[in-house]
Structure 1
Amino acid sequence: MLTEEQIQRYSRHIILKEVGGKGQQKLLDARVLIIGAGGLGAPIALYLAAAGVGTIGIADADEVDISNLQRQVIHFTPDVGKPKVVSAAEKIAAINPDVTVRTYQEWVAAENITGIIADYDFIVDGTDNFAAKFLINDACILGGKPYSHGGILQFDGQTITIQPRESACYRCIFPEPPPKDAIPTCSQAGVIGVLPGVLGTIQATEAIKFILGKGELLTNRLLTYNALRMRFREVAIKRNSNCPVCGNNPTITELHDELDTLTVCDLENK
């Protein structure tokens, strides 16, 4: 039952027929995990908190660096040197006291990711390297956890939502990581600061739609965005029957860490 204060706080949600009081209660009861508290994770966390997602988990082992502040909008100048999960949790608490924040100040790896994602309804990938992205995909497929993938570099970004065993997964598109040094890092190639805001808010929208059970999720559709041309492009994706993790005869049946840790997005921290 929503309190009077919650009815006021979420009034713009409640008057939407797609949300209403029941939908807002679903958001308050939901649990979403954000892996990565950087450029993508920052807007995702802010908007999910404002929307009233009741439990938000944040996993990141890094500390705030001054070079992060150009794009990682959940962190402020006085936060430099502070663990990112602590900085993010403080901002979430300031936005919405309804939200319970669970922090994981550690890198996700094959040995711990299954336990971390177990208690959550939806996972959001805001990480910065291919090794983590492939690991998150595999863990979510094997664990039956729906999730949103996102990645950015320079002026370009991409995102897709994965429903395990129902839609194409990340490995259906990219079966394995690219060769080391095939793609430059953001510290080498740069990234426009507003780019993760665009992609991150799309990922947050997908999480909210999933919780509400409303709208059309971005499944089997890779959405790409170029900020310079201000153009979105949608690429239809089919589930690959030969996919090594979700195909008819999977070869990946347990988690392992990819050796390649090449940074792919926003997110070169130093």
Structure 2
Amino acid sequence: MTEFTDDQLDRYARHIVLRDVGGLGQKKIINAHILIVGAGGIGCPAIQYLAAAGIGALTIVDNDIISLSNLQRQVLFSTGDIGKPKVEIAKIAAQKINPDVLINVVNERLTAQHFFDDAAAFFGQFDAIIDGSDNYQTRLLVSDLSIAHHVPLVSAAIGQFQGQLGVFRGWEKDKPCYRCFVGDALDPDDCDNCSDVGVLGAMVGLMGSFAAMEAIRVVTGFGKDPVGKLQLFDGLSPAMRSINLPKDPECKSCRPMMA
């Protein structure tokens, strides 16, 4: 892309006048392709803000259908959408926000068996991955794929009144991956989930919006590099703090990258 259309100049004017984004940054946004794993509480606001920002393409992966209990926090969906696939309704909603954004959907759960006849081609098209999935099996798989194909990972999670977010480039020898943070975490049958312990809808919106911002940071390079830090939000206090994440020298995912 070389020049903005008149409509683009108007639509993206508030980005273009930002000194740390500008016209060059907005062109990078328009040319970017983001993978979003999970069209739930975190994925919904991320999709909204990335579409509004003018991201060139979004690929959304989720196999779930919309239920009444989702509507308290999954803001792309409404009562009339109950029973429909999340990815299909998310696509319609995102295109209403910005018809110029290309939306690809995969109505399946991401597993090790998917896409991997030619994984390099599939993951090579993305500039960043946002992971808003709700289980460690998927999160660790996404992390490993991020490392294998050198795609920056924005990982966001929530629980009750708390949220956390990190940006990972685990293939770099001095940068941690998501597995460095959680280890070989499992999903025990008795693990608490939001249906058991609850979650504040607005906190989910905050983390999804933050994930969208970090994906835009990955694409444009504005501000400071957040890799190597975990951002923690406590909605009860309220408070926010940042902690350093070291690279685990025994991590089975990114240890070879330390050599």
> What band does the TM-score fall into relative to the shorter chain?
over 0.9
1:171 is the counterpart of 2:179? yes
Shift of 1:117: 3.1
Structure 1 runs not aligned, ≥5 long: 251-270
Query: 1-side partners of 2:39 and 2:57: how far apart?
Result: 16
Q: Select 2:23's aligned residue among 21, 24, 29.
A: 21
1:40-94: CA deviations, max 9, x gaps?
0000000000000010111001111110000001111111111100110111110
Q: Select 2:136's aligned residue among 130, 141, 150.
A: 130
Shift of 1:196: 1.1
**Aligned residue pairs: how many?**
250
Shift of 1:182: 5.8
1:178-212: CA deviations, max 9, x gaps?
46146311111111111111111111111101111
Q: Name the SS of the counterpart of 1:2 in structure 2.
A: coil
Q: Give, as a single letter, the amino acid of the residue that structure 2 aligns with 1:21.
A: G
Corresponding residue for residue 221 of structure 2: 213
1:106-131: CA deviations, max 9, x gaps?
00000115545342111000101111
1:142 is the counterpart of 2:142? no
1:92 is the counterpart of 2:94? yes
Identity of aligned residues (%): 38
Once the two structures are superposed, the pairs formed by residues 108-257 of structure 1 within 5 Å of their partners are: 108-112=110-114, 114=116, 115=119, 116-166=122-172, 167-178=175-186, 180-181=188-189, 183-248=191-256
Query: 2-side partners of 1:239 and 1:113: how far apart?
Result: 28
For normalisation by structure 1, the TM-score amounts to 0.89
Q: Select 1:48's aligned residue among 23, 47, 50.
A: 50
- Tell me, yes or no, if the aligned pair for 1:220 and 1:237 is still in contact at 8 Å: yes
Q: Name the SS of the counterpart of 2:145 in structure 1.
A: helix
Structure 2 runs not aligned, ≥5 long: none
- Tell me, yes or no, if the aligned pair for 1:40 and 1:200 is still in contact at 8 Å: yes
More helix, by proportion? 2
- Tell me, yes or no, if the aligned pair for 1:39 and 1:73 is still in contact at 8 Å: yes
Q: RMSD value over aligned CA atoms?
A: 1.5
Q: Select 1:63's aligned residue among 65, 79, 104.
A: 65
Query: 1-side partners of 2:136 and 2:95: how far apart?
Result: 31
Shift of 1:20: 1.6
Query: 2-side partners of 1:179 and 1:4: how far apart?
Result: 50
Shift of 1:165: 1.9
Query: 2-side partners of 1:198 and 1:59: how far apart?
Result: 21
Q: Name the SS of the counterpart of 1:217 in structure 2.
A: coil
- Tell me, yes or no, if the aligned pair for 1:242 and 1:248 is still in contact at 8 Å: no
For normalisation by structure 2, the TM-score amounts to 0.92
